Chain A
Amino acid sequence: MDAIENGIAMTSEDRKNKSLFLNFNIRENVTISFLKRMTKSGYINSRKERSFVSRFLDSLNIRPKDPEFPTFTMSGGNQQKVVIAKSLSTEPEILIMDEPTRGIDVGAKEEVYNIIRALAGAGKSIVLVSSELPEILSLCDRIIVMNKGSVVGELSNEEATEERIMALSV
């Protein structure tokens, strides 16, 4: 709760257990963190809800583009986009993403990368936690390598190569 208020949001590694409500549809999932905005003395304004969600359906290219679509039948990639939409719903400045493309097919991976680049371009700070080196190299401006919980090195994107990162991490 404090994190939300301070403009920080996180998408966690284990989306099924940690972030996604499989009993909810897309709309209910995306609005749950920010329901206050669409509620007046307890009553939910459905129209406000739907317009709120449609923004994300478009910008994240969630398919199918139906806010009433149940999330439990969606593909991993689209589910992850819903999770991202959830975390974006509170309009955070800082977004922490833990293994955001785990378990997603190649096409959706690329879509998520584009989303991340777009967010960064819009001025958001993104902390990407990942164990996939190609992903890190293609997305990150600054790379911090950790080993057993401690920081063991820092590289800028220009300096970094797969070998250098691997060397630091052992």
Chain B
Amino acid sequence: MQEAAPKTASRRRIANPQIMQLLGVLVALIVLGIVFSVASKGRFSHPENLLTVARQVSITVIVGIGITFIMITGNIDLAVGSYLALSGIFLANMILLGVPWWLAVVMTMAALGLLQLLVGTVIAKQRLSSLIVTLAMLSIARGIALSWSGGKPVYIENDSFMQIGNGYLGPIPVPVIIAGCALIIGQFVLRKTRFGRYAYAVGGNEEAARSSGINTDRIKISVFVISGFLTGLAGCVMAGRLFSGSPVAGQGFELDVIASVVIGGTSMNGGLGSMIGTLIGAFMVGAINNGLTILGVEYYYQLMAKGMIIFLAILIDRWTKNVRG
């Protein structure tokens, strides 16, 4: 009468592989930070630079929250870079039309939410692979951004709006505040609400989720809409930093976001993930981007490094998945 279950109920639970991975990444991040600081003779850890990193990471985090939701349900979105550009163009044009900037921001978020509603519905109802559909959207959205703007940036001249991208609330840059709020809300929804639990269920075992009474289509569509809102917001923040809606913004951004999310422990197969992980992953990616740039490493090598990191992250993800069975 052998029971295979270990008798750890009386002591602490067995080490959670997710937490172990996060701790590992955190340690790697600290080590990397030290290496970069030393190699750059202190330029990396200069407060001005760290603020820059924080601002860049904020945009990744805002989008990353939406992507985390999507990936937890077992889907993916490759088009976020293009959406970022599209958001900027949309926002800039709205402001040109005379719409007050705060309303334009809301409209941009709504527009992206609506777009993702369409995308999500197609993916869920037509039972299409999110990889393929969002791959198509990557080109479609970029094309729309380019054609609408005529290939040129659309400048925004509005001082109060500039605060979003470049302003501060006390010592903290506004983008960081926005990212922080989104992070807290995102983590709360994920862990403490029925919707969050259902998202994990759909990603963990879609069939079981359906037979447990969960409307899997609705959950899938919802996470895409959430991501749409967040990407729209991030696009506005970026436009604020660039003082314009740029049709070529965000190229390759999807790599950064997905790398952040996967490094942070979200499984590409769904069912696992956390917002905290995405935050740490985003810092990792941001630190690498910034550190390599400061050290003067050419862009080509940076791309290679990024690619290798994603590869590593996927390997670790696969290893963690084996543990999960």
Contacts and interface: CB of A to CB of B under 8 A. Distances in A.
B205 interface: yes
A158 to B, nearest CB: 31
Given A23-B272, A33-B213, A42-B194, A78 B208 contact: no
B201 A24 contact: yes
B195 A42 contact: yes
Interface in B152-209: 192-195, 197-198, 200-201, 203-205, 207-209
A75 B5 contact: yes
A85 interface: no
Indicate the size class of the contact surface on chain A. 35 or more
Given A18-B207, A63-B5, A23 B271 contact: yes
Contacts of B9: 63-66, 69
Contacts, number: 104
Contact of A18 (B6, B198, B211): B211
B13 interface: yes
A134 interface: no
A44 B14 contact: no
Contacts of B198: 35
B205 A20 contact: yes
Contacts of B3: 63, 75, 77-78, 107-108
A81 to B, nearest CB: 11
B5 A22 contact: no
B192 A35 contact: no
B200 A24 contact: yes
Contacts of B205: 17, 20-23
A69 B14 CA distance: 8
Contacts of A74: 4-5
A20 B14 CA distance: 20
A69 B13 contact: yes
Indicate the size class of the contact surface on chain B. 35 or more
Contact of B5 (A19, A35, A64, A68): A64
- Please indicate which of the listed interface residues B201, B211, B212, B214 has the most CB atoms of chain A within 10 Å of its own CB: B212
A21 B201 CA distance: 7
Given A63-B9, A105-B2, A73 B271 contact: no
Interface string B200-228: 11011101110111100000000000000
A39 interface: yes
Contacts of B127: none
B126 interface: no
Contact of B194 (A36, A64, A70): A36
Interface in A1-25: 1, 4, 10, 17-24
Interface string B1-30: 111111111000110100000000000000
Given A39-B194, A65-B9, A19 B211 contact: yes
B14 A23 contact: no
Contact of B197 (A17, A35, A64): A35
Given A32-B212, A75-B5, A77-B3, A23 B324 contact: yes
Given A22-B324, A23-B272, A72-B325, A43 B1 contact: no
Contacts of A78: 3, 5
Contacts of B203: 23
23 contacts: A17-B208, A21-B204, A21-B271, A22-B204, A22-B324, A28-B200, A32-B212, A35-B197, A36-B194, A39-B193, A43-B192, A44-B192, A44-B194, A64-B7, A64-B8, A66-B9, A69-B5, A69-B13, A72-B325, A73-B5, A74-B4, A75-B3, A76-B4
